[in-house]
Amino acid sequence: MILDTNPEEQTSNPVTPPEQDIRITPFIRTIWAEIILWTFVCLGLTVLYLVLSGFFVFTNRNPLLNQELQSVQYFSYFVSILFVLWPVWYSFKFATMLKNGMETDEMDSITDGFKYFRYNYAFYGILALIYIGFIVLMFFLLFVIGSLANTR
């Protein structure tokens, strides 16, 4: 990948990047084609997971659970679907826009595809920060509960 940039433009305004002329070589095309293939494979496996888990959630009627707990189970399943489908949608848009841009040699479509790719990883980064915060909170609560239990 060859980038033609003017170094003077880079130092004049650090907020907006200078225009870049990206030449897509056959090697880059083969790598992007493989990325598209594996993205669609992951999308297919995700859909298979959703179908199978939905089948098990809705066909597994536990007679010990009352109606309210089953409602909580269904609600948690639908919330988990949202957390799964959000990044899947970004991955799908990335793969389709990249494939369309490679077929038509349209740079705007490729750029928009990589924007969705960035959104996908931003979602995973925010989710990872939430999980880390939750784990730190749990350790703190366990520490407080453990110290209160030792005082009695």
Map out the domains of the chain as residue ranges: 3-150
Residue 3 makes CB contacts below 8 A (sequence gap 6+) with 20, 21, 22
Which of 34-38, 71-75, 96-100, 138-142 has the weakest average pLDDT?
Answer: 71-75
pLDDT of 110 over the 90 cut: no
pLDDT of 145 over the 70 cut: yes
Give the model's pLDDT for residue 62. 64
- Tell me the β-bridge partners of 4: 21
For the record, the structure tokens of 68 come out as: 């309210």
Q: Among residues of the chain, what percentage have pLDDT more than 70? A: 78
Tens of pLDDT, residue by residue over 29-49, are 888 888 888 888 888 888 888
Task: Give just the sign of the alpha carbon dihedral 63, 65, 67, 72.
Answer: negative
Rounded to two decimals, the pTM is: 0.61
pLDDT of 13 over the 60 cut: no
Give the model's pLDDT for residue 136. 94
Tell me if 109 sits within 8 A of 100, measured CB to CB. yes
